[in-house]
Structure 1
Amino acid sequence: MKFNPLLGMEINGHPFSYKFFQTLSLIYRTWSQRKAARELGISAPVLNRRILEAEAKLGFKLVRSTGAGSELTPQGLEILERHRRFLTKMEAGEKPVICGGHISSGLLSTLAHEFGLDAVVYGSDDESSFYLAQKELLDILALDDPLIAFQRDLDFTPIAFDHLVLVSSPGDEINNLEELINSRFIGVSSSSQRLAWKTLQDSKIPFEIVKEVKSPYEAYKLVDNGENIHTFLNSSFFSGSDLLKEETQHVISLVRYGDFNPEIEAFIDFILGPGQRIVEKQGFKSL
């Protein structure tokens, strides 16, 4: 047996059935509202009313008349293309794609496994992950640091708390801020280290970032193999001094992208509910 689901979508808070998208598709193909109505088995006035009601809800034109007949407006074309991509994704059974910071993506990978979500998870820095999200390549953007979300007014969902620990070269033991005067650090770009740097600056502690890398694991390796050098890394993944625990506590979060997917929504509900036990086991602080 072969099943062909007829799926609708929600646009700007308004639900539209598959009939609406069939209408747009036939107008696009036939360049004629009359021909489209004939193929749908309805009268031209009924089809026209369907279009006008949709335009009234959305607040913009979907179809316009030309010398050659009827065509979709740019907004109508975008809606039709998004619906086609949604159908293609559903038919192909593609795996959800999650990408984010090294810390948050690691947590989401574990949560996806525990939930039973067969997803593709990539770890990168927050900026690179956000770039992929803008290209509409992700279902979930995971953020190690909420700064990107605040800067771009993204609707983000907190899933855990974390803080930074001071990681020093072997043999270096730091007990107070004053011992960090003129210290050398490895920085990690697009990370919550900004909280540590600001604390040191506010405390009038001079310091130098001698090298900046993209991965916290690379920063750890450089510090572990170096002399008299330090970095601040997430306590959920690394051991170190809690010297700035309170000052560097921050939110691990996610941003939902793409069209409505019940499986993704159920996964997020799991994270915010029973998944919080897993969050704690992974070394994070639950919500």
Structure 2
Amino acid sequence: MKFHPRLNLSLNGETFSYRLFDALLEINSTWSQRAAAKRLGISHAVLNRRIRDAEEKMGFKLVETTGAGSGLTLQGIMILKKYQRYLKRLKERETLFICGGPISTGLMDVLSRHYGLEVVIYTTDDLSALKMAEMDLVDILLFDDPVHAFMHDLDFVPIARDDLVLVSHSNEQMESIEDLHGRLFVEVIHSAQRLAWNTLDHLHVDYKIVDWCSSPQNALKLIRNNEDFLTFLNRSFMSALSSSFTISDILAEDSSHIISMVIPTKKPELEDFSDFIQGKGQKLIPKLGFGRID
């Protein structure tokens, strides 16, 4: 079954039907109001009245007569392009769109493929993903840090457990909190590292964040280039790497957290997918470096 979405747009408090924009599209294509009317299956008089009514409400011309026939004014072209951008976005939304942090989207990529769900996945940080969801651009919203769902009173579904490990590029083994005094850290913004910083603050550890980045990959690059730098990263992320980094569980218990998802709009296929994640899909979770929620 094929769907053909259509849009009405509002401008200065006036709503204009998709029929107006279809007319502008045909005029722009044919350079003739009569030919455009014929393609649309309406009379030239109806088309002309449709254009004139819209021009009167908008306060400027949409169509002009040129030596080549009838064409769109600059304002008409601008409005048509805006309509086409919105229409393109609407058509793209026919494919399910998932957005979230790097940890949760990596997990969801595997789960959706095993389930057989066709999706587009966009990886960003939790707060940017939340902004996209508020713009109604997201079918599944994912959080690396569940605090964002709590703060915005969202009905979230837990999909996996994770914790943080201390990561360095030196051979030094750190076994106690005291070893972290005076240390320099790299922060991954809007991530579950919040749990590590809160714990260190609570324990009055004298540490300093000296650099910031938006992804765990970039955090690893920074500490690889400076052996004095440390960071906290998800255990699931580090479990997929075979590298020379030194890892410590020093704050693992204090940084245990849930990877979660929010489904803003209820759709039958997404409800079934959610049931899969919380049921049979949990068998995949340990293989991906996470802890099961059951």
Partner of 2:120: 120
Partner of 2:215: 215
Q: 1:242 aligns with which of 223, 245, 249?
A: 249
- Please say if residues 95 and 120 of structure 1, whose CA atoms lie closer than 8 Å, have aligned partners that are also in contact: yes
Could you tell me which amino acid in structure 1 is paired with residue 157 of structure 2? T
- Please say if residues 96 and 120 of structure 2, whose CA atoms lie closer than 8 Å, have aligned partners that are also in contact: yes
Distance change >3 Å, CA 131–CA 227, structure 1 → 2: same
Q: Deviations over 1:18-54 (max 9, x none)?
A: xxxxxxxxxx99xxxxxxxxxxxxxxxxxxxxxxxxx
Q: Distance in 2 between matches of 1:106 and 1:241?
A: 23
SS in 1 for 2:104: helix
Distance change >3 Å, CA 92–CA 138, structure 1 → 2: closer
Partner of 1:156: 156
SS in 2 for 1:218: helix
Q: Distance in 2 between matches of 1:206 and 1:245?
A: 19
Distance change >3 Å, CA 245–CA 269, structure 1 → 2: same
Q: Deviations over 1:114-156 (max 9, x none)?
A: 0000100111110111110010000000000011111111111
Q: Distance in 1 between matches of 2:124 and 2:221?
A: 17
- Please say if residues 144 and 253 of structure 1, whose CA atoms lie closer than 8 Å, have aligned partners that are also in contact: yes
Q: Distance in 1 between matches of 2:278 and 2:256?
A: 19
Q: Distance in 1 between matches of 2:267 and 2:262?
A: 14
Could you tell me which amino acid in structure 1 is paired with residue 191 of structure 2? S
Could you tell me which amino acid in structure 2 is paired with residue 144 of structure 1? D
Q: Distance in 1 between matches of 2:112 and 2:157?
A: 16
- Please say if residues 93 and 137 of structure 2, whose CA atoms lie closer than 8 Å, have aligned partners that are also in contact: no
SS in 1 for 2:121: strand
Q: Deviations over 1:193-220 (max 9, x none)?
A: 1111111111121000001111111011
Q: Distance in 1 between matches of 2:254 and 2:291?
A: 15
SS in 2 for 1:248: coil
Partner of 1:101: 101
Could you tell me which amino acid in structure 1 is paired with residue 271 of structure 2? E
* Larger-Rg structure: 2
Given the alignment of the two structures, is residue 277 of structure 1 paired with residue 283 of structure 2, yes or no?
yes
Partner of 1:167: 167
Alignment RMSD = 2.2
SS in 2 for 1:236: helix
Q: Distance in 2 between matches of 1:231 and 1:172?
A: 14
Partner of 2:260: 253
Could you tell me which amino acid in structure 1 is paired with residue 125 of structure 2? D
4+ residue runs over 6 A deviation:
2-5
- Please say if residues 164 and 234 of structure 1, whose CA atoms lie closer than 8 Å, have aligned partners that are also in contact: yes
Distance change >3 Å, CA 92–CA 251, structure 1 → 2: closer
Q: Distance in 1 between matches of 2:171 and 2:190?
A: 29
SS in 1 for 2:248: coil
Could you tell me which amino acid in structure 2 is paired with residue 265 of structure 1? E
Ranges in structure 2 where 5+ consecutive residues have no aligned partner: 5-15, 18-85, 240-246
Identity %: 43
Q: Distance in 2 between matches of 1:93 and 1:226?
A: 43
Aligned-pair CA distance for 1:4: 7.5
Q: Distance in 1 between matches of 2:120 and 2:269?
A: 14
Partner of 2:73: none
Q: Distance in 2 between matches of 1:201 and 1:180?
A: 12
Distance change >3 Å, CA 165–CA 3, structure 1 → 2: closer
SS in 2 for 1:237: helix
Aligned-pair CA distance for 1:3: 7.4
- Please say if residues 172 and 228 of structure 1, whose CA atoms lie closer than 8 Å, have aligned partners that are also in contact: no
Partner of 1:197: 197
Q: Distance in 2 between matches of 1:99 and 1:167?
A: 27
Could you tell me which amino acid in structure 2 is paired with residue 117 of structure 1? L
Aligned-pair CA distance for 1:169: 2.1
SS in 1 for 2:238: coil
Could you tell me which amino acid in structure 1 is paired with residue 187 of structure 2? G
Q: Distance in 2 between matches of 1:250 and 1:131?
A: 22
